[in-house]
A and B are shown apart, each in its own frame.
Chain A
């Protein structure tokens, strides 16, 4: 899922300076799961902002709401508060939600309350780690399920580099070396033959460098209305 992290409050307060009446909008999907952007966090953030404002003088007020997902248009029907009635919306969805809400409410500024960080998994209660980069051309088949694009600091596809030491990455001591892990995992699977293969340079066109990406499933795209016989 998408993992995101709350921006520092000072940054948010700064961002909201021009506005008096703000809606903090949570999202019930990934950011609820990683405890950064759920309804509860939306409420807490609105309270924080109101508290801060009461110290700094009257005028400002923050309210909150939350929908199941900010990345599907239909759920906005479940909004209890109408964004149009606010000077600004502070979305605490991932960047997708912020962008999509901006599109749906062109008259209202929609501002990000989170930094969207990575696609990750919950590795221990309260901890999320990056597992995938969304590169568009998955290599996990020959890396023992460990993503070198996301987890190797240099996104190498032929590792390790010379910076590996005792299973750690030269970039930071608390980082595992992804290629060391890949090696260990392939050994365990009896597939070191994969490790020995030299990989061709990647086509990064499937990644962001090919421009914004799009997925279509024709089988569920909207149908033309048909005229009913009586």
Chain B
């Protein structure tokens, strides 16, 4: 028995196939902690539809602009394009979309009927704000408190501007707040007001603690309390506020996580001549992302590995003059737990005049003061991951205060989950956070990969280390529009391809014979696995039994577009392969469009069937042009040849029906630029005198 059996009832009314997309997910979507529908938004971007793209992104990911800059992009790590050449640059496309659209350019989510319930959220970071958005959508009234004067949490206050400029955070916060999320900034819960007060006197029905980890840990070594021995968060926050901390020329950062990299690279930008990272780990064990470490090194940061600090040395005037560090013999024990061991006989002195401790963060449990919450000696509260509740049933928690440290998108996920729990609690239903996901599409079989055309990943414009060392402005700029759409077009539309309706298949073998990727297998009926299908649509257009539907577009969508064009007064329709076309062309915004001529852009003309061509004439088109890219230059192999066959066939059928076959033409030119396309369109209009 096949894994997936789909028959014609499953496609629902009007040929709608969207539901089939939820039967399996591409691995990019699986990998994304909030399960953003990556394939769909990348496809929108590929067709220049940025408004559509941002809405799909924000459907799941409130911090779209922030994640477009700094996400650790597990989607890309999972991307199946890796099996052909390199993963799609999903994050960069997202950044382009989010920054181009801004907060105003994204639709707002619908808000549920007001429940009359108020929820206080402590912490305006990604998890708290994500929870607030969800609660607003459920119809509750979320109020977010933060002791800082800006909303956005660590991304707003701490992450250096060269990686994440304040504008990106503002965009996301502004969009979230537009859903009716109230912000009360500069309020320190536990100090200015207590949780008790919120619940009892201010009428909140529930509290969500999303306070994050705001203490940087220091080591209990001699000299750690020196004024030039900084906890990393204080250091980075001072800089982000535009102030200059007192540092010298010889900065040593202790730790090798991403925050340590931020501190080191910030120090370089502040002008420190020698910046060193000192860490327990060796090259393989360093916890920072590979690219963070590489970029830090490019900027001149030296990395001293397998050394543990013993004491900070000062001179007689109490100035720091160095750091003693002993040899590390191991960092983790056999079970992989952190358990460093040292060789005290091997101690070196590392020159330093400034030391930054970047060895991890801890919660600041100040919010609990005056409440019934119990806090342990490490500042932790008890928390039930199945319900997101603390010991007190209407006090919930989310984000890094209760989960392992993670990235922004993981915090968003945690916040969204907590919001769901709170909603259940407030509506008196059992909290059930169980999650089940559709099957994940597996790797690309070699025989299907053979004919996929390899395309280089678009590089991100990056300033040279010399230039970026002196500046806190972004060191990587976003794609220009044409590059962004080209990169998006590298996506293989995993899971958006062909589905066989087994009750209609007559096992004629046509799909197997026309597929350029050898995806269909026909036994008693055809089966097309998403693993191999490239979603080109060729088989759908050829199947004699109409037994194939495409999951990423409805069967009749081309006919619908054609009808709209004819109804709007066009006489002539051009179906244009859009693989090499600009976003402006796709959107019909070039300004040189011809009156009476509708240009319909397609992923590739491979999806245009003979029946589509006849349909245009049937509903009144006087002429139809089909313009694929020239042979070998299209998104898929054989598109021009396949399209040519269909046009020839349709011309034969038209001639038989008494329609002059010259009213249907094909020209392989969609890859030759706008002016070539326009001149073909003009010639066609003139030769056939279609003009009104």
Interface residues of A (CB under 8 A from B): 28, 68-69, 72, 74-75, 78, 218-230
Chain B, range 630-684, C-beta contacts under 8 Å to A: 631-633, 637-638, 640-642, 645-646, 648-649
Question: Cβ of B542 < 8 Å from any Cβ of A?
Answer: yes
The SS class assigned to the A binding surface is loop
Please give 7 more A-B residue pairs, beta carbons under 8 A apart, in addition to A68-B507, A74-B513, A78-B523: A69-B507, A221-B645, A223-B638, A223-B645, A226-B631, A226-B640, A228-B451
- Tell me which residues across on chain B come within 8 A of A74, comparing CB atoms: 509, 512-513, 522
In the bound assembly, the distance between CA atoms of A229 and B610 in angstroms comes to 27
Question: Cβ of B454 < 8 Å from any Cβ of A?
Answer: yes
Task: Indicate if the CB atoms of B454 and A230 lie closer than 8 Å.
Answer: yes
In the bound assembly, the distance between CA atoms of A72 and B542 in angstroms comes to 18
Question: Cβ of B471 < 8 Å from any Cβ of A?
Answer: no
- Cβ-closest chain A residue relative to B523: A78
- Cβ-closest chain A residue relative to B452: A228
In the bound assembly, the distance between CA atoms of A223 and B649 in angstroms comes to 15
In the bound assembly, the distance between CA atoms of A28 and B507 in angstroms comes to 11
- Cβ-closest chain B residue relative to A72: B509
Task: Indicate if the CB atoms of A68 and B632 lie closer than 8 Å.
Answer: no
- Cβ-closest chain B residue relative to A221: B645
- Tell me which residues across on chain B come within 8 A of A226, comparing CB atoms: 631-632, 637-638, 640-641
Selected contact of B522 from candidates A68, A218, A223, CB within 8 Å: A68
In the bound assembly, the distance between CA atoms of A227 and B510 in angstroms comes to 23
Given A68-B507, A226-B638, A230-B454, A220 contacting B523 (CB threshold 8 A): no
In the bound assembly, the distance between CA atoms of A220 and B508 in angstroms comes to 12
Query: What 4 pairs between A and B have smallest CB-CB spacing?
Result: A219-B649, A219-B645, A223-B641, A228-B453
- Tell me which residues across on chain A come within 8 A of B509, comparing CB atoms: 72, 74-75
- Tell me which residues across on chain B come within 8 A of A75, comparing CB atoms: 509, 522
Chain B, range 581-631, C-beta contacts under 8 Å to A: 610, 631
- Cβ-closest chain A residue relative to B642: A223
- Cβ-closest chain A residue relative to B525: A68
Q: Can you give 28 contacting A-B residue pairs, CB < 8 Å?
A: A28-B524, A68-B507, A72-B509, A75-B522, A78-B523, A218-B649, A219-B646, A219-B648, A219-B649, A220-B510, A220-B542, A220-B645, A221-B645, A223-B638, A223-B641, A223-B642, A223-B645, A225-B637, A225-B638, A226-B632, A226-B638, A228-B453, A228-B632, A228-B637, A229-B453, A229-B632, A230-B453, A230-B455
In the bound assembly, the distance between CA atoms of A109 and B295 in angstroms comes to 71
- Tell me which residues across on chain A come within 8 A of B646, comparing CB atoms: 219
- Tell me which residues across on chain A come within 8 A of B51, comparing CB atoms: none
- Tell me which residues across on chain B come within 8 A of A78, comparing CB atoms: 523
**How many residues on B have C-beta within 8 angstroms of the other chain's C-beta atoms?**
27
In the bound assembly, the distance between CA atoms of A186 and B157 in angstroms comes to 90
Selected contact of A68 from candidates B453, B524, B637, B641, CB within 8 Å: B524
Selected contact of A218 from candidates B453, B524, B648, CB within 8 Å: B648
- Tell me which residues across on chain B come within 8 A of A72, comparing CB atoms: 509
- Cβ-closest chain A residue relative to B631: A226
In the bound assembly, the distance between CA atoms of A193 and B509 in angstroms comes to 44
CB of A107, distance to nearest CB on chain B (Å): 25
In the bound assembly, the distance between CA atoms of A68 and B523 in angstroms comes to 7
Task: Indicate if the CB atoms of B641 and A220 lie closer than 8 Å.
Answer: no
CB of A206, distance to nearest CB on chain B (Å): 19
Question: Cβ of B111 < 8 Å from any Cβ of A?
Answer: no
CB of A90, distance to nearest CB on chain B (Å): 22
Question: Cβ of B288 < 8 Å from any Cβ of A?
Answer: no
CB of A96, distance to nearest CB on chain B (Å): 15
In the bound assembly, the distance between CA atoms of A229 and B631 in angstroms comes to 9
Name, among B453, B455, B522, B649, the residue most crowded by chain A CB atoms within 10 Å (CB to CB). B522
Question: Cβ of B224 < 8 Å from any Cβ of A?
Answer: no
CB of B518, distance to nearest CB on chain A (Å): 11
In the bound assembly, the distance between CA atoms of A219 and B453 in angstroms comes to 24
- Tell me which residues across on chain A come within 8 A of B645, comparing CB atoms: 218-221, 223
- Tell me which residues across on chain B come within 8 A of A224, comparing CB atoms: 641
- Tell me which residues across on chain B come within 8 A of A228, comparing CB atoms: 451, 453, 632, 637
Question: Cβ of B514 < 8 Å from any Cβ of A?
Answer: yes
- Tell me which residues across on chain A come within 8 A of B633, comparing CB atoms: 229
In the bound assembly, the distance between CA atoms of A122 and B510 in angstroms comes to 27
- Tell me which residues across on chain B come within 8 A of A219, comparing CB atoms: 610, 645-646, 648-649
CB of B69, distance to nearest CB on chain A (Å): 31
- Tell me which residues across on chain B come within 8 A of A218, comparing CB atoms: 645, 648-649
CB of B668, distance to nearest CB on chain A (Å): 11
- Tell me which residues across on chain A come within 8 A of B637, comparing CB atoms: 225-226, 228
Selected contact of B513 from candidates A69, A220, A225, A230, CB within 8 Å: A220
CB of B397, distance to nearest CB on chain A (Å): 52
- Cβ-closest chain B residue relative to A222: B513
